Amino acid sequence: MKYITFHNLAKLLDALKEDYRVFVPVKKSESGDYPIKKGAQRFYKEYDKFSDDIIIGEVRPFEPLKAFFVSAREKVADNFSPEVPHTKDKPFALVGVKNCDLKQGFKVQDHVFNNHDFQDPFYIKNREENLIIAADCTCAIDTCFCLATGNQPYPEENFDINLSSVGDGFIVEAAPTRRAQKFMDKYHSLFDIAKDYQLNERKEQRQKVIKKVEENIKENNIPSYDTLKEDIIKKNWDSDVWLDESKTCVECAACTIICPTCHCFLLYDQKDKEKMERLRIWDSCMIKDYARVAGGANPRPKLWMRLRNRFEKKFDFFPKVGGFYACTGCGRCISACPAMIDIREVLVRLVKGNGKNK
Amino acid sequence: MERINNPYRPIEAEVLKVITETPTIKTIHFKPKEPIRFATGQFVEITIPGVGEAPFTPSSPPSEKETMQVSVMKVGKVTDKIHELKKGDAIGVRGPFGNGYPVDEFKGKEILVVGGGCGFAPLRSLMYEFFDRSGQLKKLFFRGGCKTPKELVYHDETKEWAKRKDLNLKLTVDAADSSWKGNVGVVTTILDDVKMDYKKGIGVVCGPPIMMKFATKKLLHMGFKEDNIYLSMEKNMSCGIGKCGHCRLGTYYACKDGPVFKYSEIKKLPEIWD
């Protein structure tokens, strides 16, 4: 294991700009004090030079990582040309990525966009070329419950390099891949050998964050990974929980847009002079016309049906087709919802649910 | 990077002919610039450049290799533009997608095909496929219904079909006019004279959701096995490759796992008739 100082990390990020568009998490708060002031969020910003607002540790940025792999709006076809558009774009280097996005997030996105039947050339290009410099969570915020969905608050897979904040720098862990090794070799002069006390500090730090997430889970009575496995959707199919929970929903779709696992999109065509271009834009199953067909039939005309559908997709469809939940425990949807619909509360009700009829 | 085809790119096609079938349905004959091979029951996405895409099951048989046909009801943004197409216009085609009818498995069997309204389109492709394989089936029945005689598609063709010795055909309308000599009533009212061994028979149903629901019920009542009833599901298929999410049906995507399903595969899923 290696170690990098803050000073050298800045050098590293500067150097990366040559081959990548580098994105770092920043936090906008007046003082940058800790614990985090309520409402202060972390966002990805394109890196230019090192600045004080860059936060490598802490928790996941508000934006889901998927935005760098399936863009919110991108051109996917140019007239009738067989060329794949914009796959020659400069790749991204993504810094400070947290495990909720890496483990469960990629599990779902890979399942959708890189399955064997049909591969998505845009996603695969990004997956192959983007560089991921992950980081341990150094704290947990109130909405974090990753342990309940089977994730640790530190990177376990899908990264090239991981940084664990220790003292005035970071422990550097390289993934056992050729690309990561090449990276370590290229920038070897910026790294020192990690000392035992630093490795111990990383261990303690990780335990501290795990403990905080455990407290969150206990405080909110969040069902354990095992109880979620029971057929929670099927047994609550006719329950009043859906109507009840959807009462305040304003159908803004924030919960699905912000979700690192939600992957739905619509294809939108437009004409630029005489040329047609096809765009792919994020879509949401919470929107009324999402599943409507032109003939008029709509399988889910009511809002509560669409809320049920959102949970069915996450906790029934993906477990059945892929063997995993499509929830990372990142808590983004809780923060994003203007109607205070809380996925943790819904899960509690589903596990306790008695299938009461409406 | 290994070269991967762009699954979102439409192939250019030239409109050859436009036939007005009914006041709301037109059949478009077109020729894709790169040949598209499909199995009957699979679907394609038709692009009107700059307007958008919509899914259609070709109404022409797979044996027609250079050209294709789709029969389109005017119901929305894309289909409105499809109805404005003329000979020589350029459109786009993507596909084929999904699974069609397992026609090889129908060899030596007795088949009942039930169609309603615009559901005649995929069934026309299937019927021509059957005619191409004439002699392979033990018996073939076609029962079709639509609202009024004016809304009956493939009017002249079905007249020709009626003369075939290898087919027993009957049509019905919900409401007749003075021109109509046939049966009046919904399609389930003309199934009772289908003489075959229902327990071993194959039922193929395609039409509006309400018609599919009642026709399936009727076939089950007659004795058809759930495994032997094939339904073509109409969902909001967009990407065609199981990624965009819109056409999910339980654990299936209609675009990739359908659109043709056995009734036994989907009967337990919610929302199938909606």
pLDDT of residue A118: 85
What whole-number percentage of chain A has pLDDT above 90?
A: 79
Statement to judge: residues B154 and B61 lie in one domain: no
pLDDT surpassing 60 at residue A356: no
B177 within some domain: yes
φ/ψ (deg, to 5) at B181: -105, -10
Evaluate whether A286 touches A306 at the Cβ level (below 8 Å). Answer: yes
B236 contacts A283? CB cut-off 8 A: no
* Alpha carbon distance B155, B157 (integer Å): 6
Statement to judge: residues B73 and B36 lie in one domain: yes
Which positions in chain B touch A123 (Cβ < 8 Å)?
none
Place of tokens 């392979």: B136
At residue B273 the predicted structure's pLDDT band, cuts being 50, 70 and 90, is confident
Q: What is the residue-wise DSSP string for A91-111?
A: PEEEEEE-HHIIIIIHHHHHH
Q: How far, in Å, are A28, A38, B109, B212, B265 from residue B233 at the CA level?
A: 50, 48, 23, 9, 12
* Alpha carbon distance B38, B35 (integer Å): 10
Residue type for A107, please?
Answer: K
Sign of CA dihedral B254, B256, B257, B263: positive
pLDDT surpassing 70 at residue A104: yes
Statement to judge: residues B19 and B51 lie in one domain: yes
* Alpha carbon distance B131, B125 (integer Å): 10
B237 within some domain: no
Statement to judge: residues B70 and B109 lie in one domain: no
| A125, A294, A297 ranked by CB distance to B209: nearest | A297
Give the lowest-confidence range in A113-122, A222-231, A303-312, B159-168: A222-231
Domain count for chain B, please give it.
2
The token duo for A109 is 């996105």
> Which spans in A162-277 are helix H?
178-186, 196-219, 225-228, 232-235, 241-246, 254-257
| DSSP structure class, residue A3 | E
* Alpha carbon distance A98, A162 (integer Å): 9
Domain boundary, last residue among B46, B75, B97:
B97
Nearest-Cα distance to chain A for B99, in Å, is 13
Which positions in chain A touch B12 (Cβ < 8 Å)?
80
Statement to judge: residues B83 and B117 lie in one domain: no
pTM of the model: 0.92
Tell me which residue of A161, A194, A179 sits closest to A12, measured CA to CA.
Answer: A161
Secondary structure of chain B in the HEC alphabet? Answer: CCCCCCCCCCEEEEEEEEEECCCCEEEEEEEECCCCCCCECEEEEEEECCCEEEEECCCCCCCCCCCEEEEEECCCHHHHHHHCCCCCCEEEEEEEECECCCHHHHCCCEEEEEEEHHHHHHHHHHHHHHHHCCCCCCEEEEEEEECCHHHCCCHHHHHHHHCCCCCEEEEEECCCCCCCCCEECCHHHHCCCCCCCCCCCEEEEECCHHHHHHHHHHHHHHCCCHHHEEEECCCCCCCCCCCCCCCEECCEEHHHHCEEEEHHHHCCCCCCCC
pLDDT tens-place string over residues A226-242? 777 778 899 999 999 99
Statement to judge: residues B218 and B110 lie in one domain: yes
Statement to judge: residues B118 and B226 lie in one domain: yes
* Alpha carbon distance A79, B11 (integer Å): 9
B270 contacts A269? CB cut-off 8 A: no
A290 contacts B208? CB cut-off 8 A: no
B197 within some domain: yes
Nearest residue on chain A to B77, alpha-carbon basis: A294
| Count of beta carbons in the 10 Å neighbourhood of residue A358 | 10
B269 within some domain: no
Statement to judge: residues B108 and B178 lie in one domain: yes
Q: At what angle do helices A106-113 and A121-129 cross, to 10 degrees?
A: 140
Q: How far, in Å, are A139, A201, B1 from residue A208 at the CA level?
A: 8, 10, 42
* Alpha carbon distance B106, B108 (integer Å): 6
Which positions in chain B touch A77 (Cβ < 8 Å)?
6, 8-10
B252 within some domain: no
Statement to judge: residues B36 and B87 lie in one domain: yes
* Alpha carbon distance A120, A4 (integer Å): 36
pLDDT of residue B269: 87
pLDDT of residue A37: 54
Evaluate whether A150 touches A315 at the Cβ level (below 8 Å). Answer: no
Which positions in chain B touch A80 (Cβ < 8 Å)?
9-12, 33, 92
| DSSP structure class, residue B42 | B
The token duo for A221 is 């009575």
Statement to judge: residues B226 and B109 lie in one domain: yes
Domain boundary, last residue among B97, B128, B157:
B97
Tell me which residue of B207, B218, B26 sits closest to B122, measured CA to CA.
Answer: B207
Evaluate whether B78 touches B51 at the Cβ level (below 8 Å). Answer: yes
Note down the domain range covering B60: 11-97
pLDDT surpassing 70 at residue A178: yes
pLDDT surpassing 50 at residue B211: yes
A118 contacts B245? CB cut-off 8 A: no
pLDDT of residue B168: 96
We report the CATH number of the domain holding residue B79 as: 2.40.30.10
Statement to judge: residues B124 and B180 lie in one domain: yes
pLDDT of residue B130: 96
At residue A358 the predicted structure's pLDDT band, cuts being 50, 70 and 90, is very low
pLDDT of residue A29: 61
